[in-house]
Amino acid sequence: MVVAAKANDLIGAAVDLLYPRNCPFCARPLARHERGVICPGCLETVKWIEPPCCSRCALPFVGAVEGAFECGYCKELKLRFSQGVAACLARGIVLDAIHEFKYNRKMYFGTHLADWIVTAGREHMDWSGVDAVVPVPLHPRKKREREFNQAEYLADAVGDAFAKPVWTRCIRRVKDTPTQTRLSREERMANLREAFVARGELKGKRVLLVDDVFTTGATLDACAKVLRVAGAADVWVLAVARGAYV
């Protein structure tokens, strides 16, 4: 066992020497013990979301606030999920990593996205009431184009970390909507009308929705709506990053 471990260490060192991993953002070579592909220096630039922030949409608040609160934006909406948690702000290396992972299939960024979302789930969520983890689905056409669903990847990481089942077929996307990147919340809501359907009976179940980015919450709310209609007792949201409103 010891000999085999030493042999693996030597092989790993030789591979790193011949094919070094360089951080994609600053080109710094990574040591063998460093996880993923982003160097510690670049990881330090991540803007983590910490209280005070809106308990519904995770929007950070600058100032002194005690206890849980909802921002003015959320108070005006009838959101179907009761809590939203996001790990960090969607800017800098976080946004770049999400885009490269999601659109260019650079799967090596997945390690970092999973680390970020699991860390937020561990620090800011109560898992005792969660029955299952549900990824936001892609339309079948879009999933064929990308060859994977980033939300499913993240949901699997969350399910493994907190020993919760992952229900990948709980919601189906039946409307092939155009990209929402440049749409306002009102336009996103119209775009997502009747875009999702729930599968099966969810009476009394408490469900955690997982996605990569929380921006206006329109997609997550549309999913939460069909989960509620199917009988879910409560719905929470967990995302890697909190985007800015359009």
Q: What is the pLDDT of residues 157-182, one digit of tens each?
A: 999 999 999 999 999 999 887 666 66
Q: Is the pLDDT of residue 18 over 60?
A: no
For 19-45, what is each residue's pLDDT tens digit?
Answer: 568 999 999 999 888 989 999 999 999
Q: Is the pLDDT of residue 228 over 50?
A: yes
Residue 119, pLDDT score: 98
Instruction: Pinpoint the alpha helices (H) of 173-232.
Output: 185-191, 218-229
Lowest mean pLDDT among 55-59, 123-127, 166-170, 180-184: 180-184
Structure tokens at 191: 């775009």
Q: How far apart are CA 162 and CA 130, in angstroms?
A: 10
Strand partners, 86: 239
Name 32's Cβ contacts closer than 8 Å, sequence gap at least 6.
12, 13, 16
Q: How far apart are CA 160 and CA 237, in angstroms?
A: 17
* Same domain (yes/no): 70, 39: no
* Same domain (yes/no): 117, 198: yes
- Which CATH number belongs to the domain containing residue 173 in this structure? 3.40.50
Range of the domain at 3: 1-45
Q: How far apart are CA 178 and CA 75, in angstroms?
A: 28
Token pair 């030493």 is at which residue? 6
Strand partners, 213: 241
Residue 67, pLDDT score: 67
Residue 77 pLDDT level (bands cut at 50, 70, 90): confident
Q: What does residue 172 show for φ and ψ, rounded to 5 degrees?
A: -120, 135
* Same domain (yes/no): 35, 141: no
* Same domain (yes/no): 96, 24: no
**Mean pLDDT of all residues in 130-152:** 95
* Same domain (yes/no): 76, 11: no
pTM tops 0.85, yes or no? yes
Amino acid at site 48: W
* Same domain (yes/no): 83, 111: yes
